[in-house]
Structure 1
Amino acid sequence: MSFVAIGLVLLSGFVHAIWNLFAKKSMNKHVFLWLCYATSVLVFSPYLWTEGTSLTHVHSSEWLVIAASVGLHGAYIYMLAVTYEIGDLSQVYPIMRGTSPLLVPFIGVLVLGEQLRLLGWFGVACIVFGIYIAGNLRLSGLWHRRNRAIWLALCVGVLITTYTVVDKVAIRSVPPQLLTELTNIGNFLTLSLIVMRQQGIKKEWRMNWRTIVLGGVLSPGGYILFLKAMALSPVSQLAPMREIGTVFGTVMGVFLLHEPQGRKRLWASVLITAGVVLLAQ
């Protein structure tokens, strides 16, 4: 595996954790993310001019993949805002990031008939146990409202899994920067449907304009780093490595936001990360 790809993925994971910290700290999550993606659309708009000509060579079947990518990212960003409205960063972030590498091996075994080594099953156990600890799940009353944040985080993880696979296919047709700008536009339009019925846009901008601008650059910028890494190495090797961001996000939630159950959630993030590493072996 390329050392450049490894560096890009690790940096991507750190950047992802930072802008998620900004989103959690905001007042109105949907408004904050809407303003972030308005910024993203403007900042990355030059890619539409410099690389937009490549769209003229895209076939109809490839357009379906691109449209699927845009739709999945839009659903992801909406669900992310809902999850952060009710869940702690150090609680839901490890679950969101740990779900993706957990699902892939299960799909491979149950649907594709693949085999998973003992070490891989141990990795699965680490991730499941880590998610259980991070979410503070109680098996009695599993569907109780108090567990809503955990189930939402799992839904976000499913969306992350799906759009990662779809994006791997999409960047065969369009450059990573252009695909990211298209998803920026999709995210902005998706959140517009929600934000236009809400109040507090001016207040959110006045209170958080610095993190909005920075988040508007870091959110798509971090994913561009990951897309560029995927162009250099297989996604099956890179996607698990990116989950080191699980530890970054949990540390930020515990030490910067002073969220409860810090020691337990830190151990959970380490377990999830260890499980991901074992699955990648």
Structure 2
Amino acid sequence: MPAYIVLTVLFAALLHALWNIIVKGGENKLFETGLNALGAGLGAVCIVPFLPPLLPEAWPNLAMSCICHFTYYICIAEAYKKADLSFSYTIMRGCAPLLTSLAMLFFGVSLSLGAWGGVLLLCCGIFCLAGDNARRGADRSAILLSLRTSFVIMGYTLADGMGARHSGNAVSYACWIFVLNIIPLNAFIFWRHGLDYARYIRKRALIGAFGGLAGLGSYGIAIWAMTIAPIAMVAALRETSVIFGMLLAVLLLHEKFTVWRGVAVALVACGAILMKLA
């Protein structure tokens, strides 16, 4: 893989960690997810008119993906209320490829020896995080909330994997995800919180929009890279986002760094990369 693609995909991983930092750092996590979806969706609206239309076969998958993404944003907000980003983000992103790979077994796709090695590293990393969380007296429900988010990520990963194949154009499919994500989440937040959310938008509009565009850019870069480089290698490089997440959490959110957290993040990143490359 050419060096410029490696650097670009690493930048995409950084962008992914960055928008999660923005959500975690906001005063109201649910409102931040709404702003993130809004910023990403408005960015995608500007791109969609220049892309080919989706094939009808992709719309059922797109609908399922939007349901999963709606749940995903709510789950992220709940997880970030309970735990540090360096903890919850690592579990979310680390367990998702594990759960997705295990789910693929039901579709008759078996795991290679290297993939099982990745599973083992992922499990070791998650156990390290869980142990560190327990030693620090943190809320144990944070583990369950983070794992719940991983299940939702697995859901939209499977839906998008099939939807992109049936769409006729993967970039169009990805952009439509962001466009449609605006409506259900923001409608839900306005229904529940009304003027409070409107006031929050006025206060955090620019930061929220930047976070949303970072998410859109991260996804768009990954899709572009997958068209000119091996998909497995691109997907594996994106998993370095857990390392960026921990570093940004320590630098920007002033979360405490521990040796066990560092070991756990390294194990999860290596395990996810090994699973993607296997």
> Structure 2-normalised TM-score?
0.84
Q: Which residue pairs with 1:25 in the alignment?
A: 25
Seen in structure 2, the aligned counterparts of structure 1 residues 261 and 255 have a Cα distance that, compared at 3 Å, is same
Matches within 5 A, 1:227-238: 227-233=223-229, 235-238=231-234
8 Å CA contact retained: 1:86, 1:149: yes
Q: Which residue pairs with 2:38 in the alignment?
A: 38
Q: Which has the higher helix share?
A: 2
Matches within 5 A, 1:154-169: 154-169=147-162
Q: Which residue pairs with 1:182 in the alignment?
A: 176
Structure 2 alignment gaps of length 5 or more = none
In structure 2, distance between residues paired with 1:169 and 1:108:
12
* 1:140-166 Cα deviation digits (max 9, x unpaired): xxxxx9322211211222222332333
**Matching residue within 195, 219, 226 for 1:223:** 219
Structure 1 alignment gaps of length 5 or more = 140-144
Aligned-partner SS, 1:123:
helix
8 Å CA contact retained: 1:247, 1:273: yes
Seen in structure 2, the aligned counterparts of structure 1 residues 156 and 229 have a Cα distance that, compared at 3 Å, is farther
Q: Which residue pairs with 2:273 in the alignment?
A: 277
Matched, 1:102 2:98: yes
Q: Which residue pairs with 1:72 in the alignment?
A: 68
In structure 2, distance between residues paired with 1:278 and 1:9:
17
Matched, 1:244 2:243: no
8 Å CA contact retained: 2:40, 2:178: yes
* 1:4-56 Cα deviation digits (max 9, x unpaired): 654443222111001100110001112122123223333321223222x624x
Aligned-partner SS, 2:139:
helix
How many residue pairs align between the two structures?
271
8 Å CA contact retained: 1:70, 1:182: no
Seen in structure 2, the aligned counterparts of structure 1 residues 110 and 66 have a Cα distance that, compared at 3 Å, is closer
Q: Which residue pairs with 1:126 in the alignment?
A: 121
RMSD, aligned α-carbons: 2.8
8 Å CA contact retained: 2:118, 2:272: yes
User: Identity rate of aligned residues, in percent?
Assistant: 27
Seen in structure 2, the aligned counterparts of structure 1 residues 230 and 78 have a Cα distance that, compared at 3 Å, is farther
In structure 2, distance between residues paired with 1:110 and 1:50:
38
Aligned-partner SS, 1:136:
helix
Query: Quick check: 229-238 or 154-163, which moved more?
Result: 229-238
In structure 2, distance between residues paired with 1:180 and 1:239:
15
Query: Quick check: 83-92 or 251-260, which moved more?
Result: 251-260
Give 1:234 shift: 5.3
Aligned-partner SS, 2:9:
helix
Read off the aligned partner of 2:251 and give its amino acid letter.
F
Query: Quick check: 91-100 or 191-200, which moved more?
Result: 191-200
Read off the aligned partner of 2:258 and give its amino acid letter.
G
In structure 2, distance between residues paired with 1:157 and 1:278:
18
Read off the aligned partner of 1:179 and give its amino acid letter.
Y
Q: Which residue pairs with 1:63 in the alignment?
A: 59
